Amino acid sequence: MDLVSPGIGLIFWTSLVFIILMILLRVFAWKPILTMVNKRNDSIENALKQAEIAREDMKKLQTDHELMMEQAKQERDKIFAEAREMKEQLMQKAKDETDKMVTKMKADAKAEIEGQKQAAINELKQQVAEISIDIAEKILKSELEDKKKQEAMVNQLLKEVELN
Amino acid sequence: MKGKILVFFGLLLASGMLFASEPHENEAQDEDFNVTDFVMNHIKDSHNWHILEYTDKTGKAHAVSIPLPVILIHEGKPVCFMSSKFHHGHAVVTKNGNHYFLHEGTIYVTDENGTIEESYDEEKEATVIVNEKPMDFSITKNVAGMFVTALIMLLVFISVARAYKKRPGRPAGLQGFMEPLILFVRDDIAKPNIGEKYERYLPYILTVFFFILINNLLGLVPFFPGGANITGNISVTLTLALFTMIATNISGSKAYWKHIFNAPGVPWWLKFPIPIMPVVEFIGILSKPFALMIRLFANITAGHIIVMSLVAVIFIFKAIGMSAISVPFVLFIDVLEILVAFIQAYIFTLLSCLFIGLAVQSDH
pLDDT digits (tens, 9 = 90+) for B86-113: 887 778 888 878 888 888 778 888 887 7
Chain A residues with beta carbon closer than 8 angstroms to that of B157: 25, 28-30, 33
Which of B91, B73, B338, B309 is closest to B214 using CA atoms? Answer: B338
A49: distance to nearest CA of chain B, Å? 18
B180: distance to nearest CA of chain A, Å? 11
Calculate mean pLDDT across residues A103-122: 93
Q: Quick one: pLDDT at residue A119?
A: 93
B213: distance to nearest CA of chain A, Å? 14
B18-41 b/e (C-beta count within 10 Å ≥ 16 → b): eeebeeeeeeeeeeeeeeeebbbe
Question: What's the rounded Cα separation, in Å, for the pair B261 and B280?
Answer: 10
* Whether residue A78 has pLDDT greater than 90: yes
Contact state of B154 with A6 under an 8 Å Cβ cutoff? no
pLDDT band at A164 (very low <50, low <70, confident <90, very high): low
Chain B residues with beta carbon closer than 8 angstroms to that of A39: 168
pLDDT band at B3 (very low <50, low <70, confident <90, very high): low
Nearest to A29 among B157, B169, B239 (CB): B157
Q: Quick one: pLDDT at residue B7?
A: 52
Q: Quick one: pLDDT at residue B17?
A: 39
Chain B residues with beta carbon closer than 8 angstroms to that of A8: 135-137
Nearest to B235 among A11, A29, A40 (CB): A11
**Is pLDDT larger for residue B131 or for residue B147?**
B147
Chain A residues with beta carbon closer than 8 angstroms to that of B139: 13
**Is pLDDT larger for residue B123 or for residue B196?**
B196
- 3-state DSSP assignment of residue B273: coil
B268: distance to nearest CA of chain A, Å? 40
- Other CB atoms within a 10 A radius of the CB of residue B307 amount to 21
* Whether residue B75 has pLDDT greater than 70: yes
Contact state of B165 with A32 under an 8 Å Cβ cutoff? yes
Residue type, B165: K
**Is pLDDT larger for residue B347 or for residue B54?**
B347
pTM for this structure? 0.74
- 3-state DSSP assignment of residue B271: coil
**Residue length of chain A:** 164
Contact state of B158 with A40 under an 8 Å Cβ cutoff? no
Calculate mean pLDDT across residues B156-161: 92
Burial of B204 (0-12, 13-18, 19+ CB in 10 A): buried
With vertex at residue A5, the alpha carbon angle to CA B126 and CA B81, rounded to the nearest 5 degrees, is 100
Chain A residues with beta carbon closer than 8 angstroms to that of B298: none
A30: distance to nearest CA of chain B, Å? 6
* Whether residue B14 has pLDDT greater than 70: no
Question: What's the rounded Cα separation, in Å, for the pair B72 and B140?
Answer: 12
Chain B residues with beta carbon closer than 8 angstroms to that of A37: 164, 179, 182-183
Least confident of A75-89, A146-160, B191-205, B223-237: A146-160
pLDDT band at B203 (very low <50, low <70, confident <90, very high): very high
Residue type, B179: E
* Whether residue B19 has pLDDT greater than 60: no
Nearest C-alpha in A relative to B243: A15
* Whether residue B164 has pLDDT greater than 50: yes
B125 secondary structure, DSSP code: T
Question: What's the rounded Cα separation, in Å, for the pair A142 and B99?
Answer: 208
Q: Quick one: pLDDT at residue A7?
A: 85
Contact state of A14 with B146 under an 8 Å Cβ cutoff? yes
* Whether residue A76 has pLDDT greater than 70: yes
Contact state of B239 with A18 under an 8 Å Cβ cutoff? yes
In a domain, A72, yes or no: yes
Q: Quick one: pLDDT at residue B21?
A: 41
pLDDT band at B236 (very low <50, low <70, confident <90, very high): very high
Chain B residues with beta carbon closer than 8 angstroms to that of A47: none
Q: How many distinct structural domains can be found in chain A?
A: 1
Burial of B149 (0-12, 13-18, 19+ CB in 10 A): buried
Least confident of A121-130, A134-143, B304-313: A134-143
A30 secondary structure, DSSP code: I
pLDDT band at A47 (very low <50, low <70, confident <90, very high): very high
Nearest to A37 among B44, B183, B235 (CB): B183
Residue of B107, B239, B293 to mutate when probing chain A, most A C-beta within 10 A: B239
A47: distance to nearest CA of chain B, Å? 13
Chain A residues with beta carbon closer than 8 angstroms to that of B154: 21, 24-25, 28-29
Nearest C-alpha in A relative to B148: A17
In a domain, A64, yes or no: yes
Question: What's the rounded Cα separation, in Å, for the pair B216 and B344?
Answer: 9
Q: Quick one: pLDDT at residue B9?
A: 47
Calculate mean pLDDT across residues A49-74: 95
Residue of A5, A30, A31 to mutate when probing chain B, most B C-beta within 10 A: A30
Question: What's the rounded Cα separation, in Å, for the pair B165 and A36?
Answer: 8
Chain A residues with beta carbon closer than 8 angstroms to that of B142: 10
CB A29 within 8 A of CB B203: no
Contact state of B157 with A7 under an 8 Å Cβ cutoff? no
Residue type, A128: V
* Whether residue B30 has pLDDT greater than 50: no
The beta-strand segments (E) located in chain B are 19-20, 24-25, 48-55, 60-67, 69-74, 77-82, 93-95, 98-103, 106-110, 118-121, 126-129, 135-136
Contact state of A3 with B161 under an 8 Å Cβ cutoff? no
The helix or strand, by DSSP H or E, that contains position A116, with its residue range, turns out to be helix A31-143
CB B135 within 8 A of CB A8: yes
In a domain, A2, yes or no: no
**Could you tell me what percent of chain B has a pLDDT over 90?**
34
Range of the domain at A42: 8-163
Question: What's the rounded Cα separation, in Å, for the pair B285 and B301?
Answer: 25
Chain B residues with beta carbon closer than 8 angstroms to that of A30: 157, 202-203, 206-207
Q: Quick one: pLDDT at residue B20?
A: 39
B104: distance to nearest CA of chain A, Å? 10
Q: Quick one: pLDDT at residue B363?
A: 62
The helix or strand, by DSSP H or E, that contains position B315, with its residue range, turns out to be helix B276-317
Q: Quick one: pLDDT at residue A95?
A: 94
Burial of B354 (0-12, 13-18, 19+ CB in 10 A): middle
CB B354 within 8 A of CB B347: no
* Whether residue B138 has pLDDT greater than 60: yes
Contact state of A25 with B165 under an 8 Å Cβ cutoff? no
Question: What's the rounded Cα separation, in Å, for the pair B301 and B42?
Answer: 10
**Domain positions in chain B:** 69-138, 142-360
Least confident of B4-18, B249-263, B279-293: B4-18
Nearest C-alpha in B relative to A14: B236
**Residue B310 CB contacts under 8 Å (≥ 6 apart), including other chains:** B326, B329, B330, B333
Q: Quick one: pLDDT at residue B364?
A: 55
Contact state of A11 with B239 under an 8 Å Cβ cutoff? yes
Calculate mean pLDDT across residues B211-224: 90
Chain B residues with beta carbon closer than 8 angstroms to that of A14: 143, 146, 235-236, 239-240
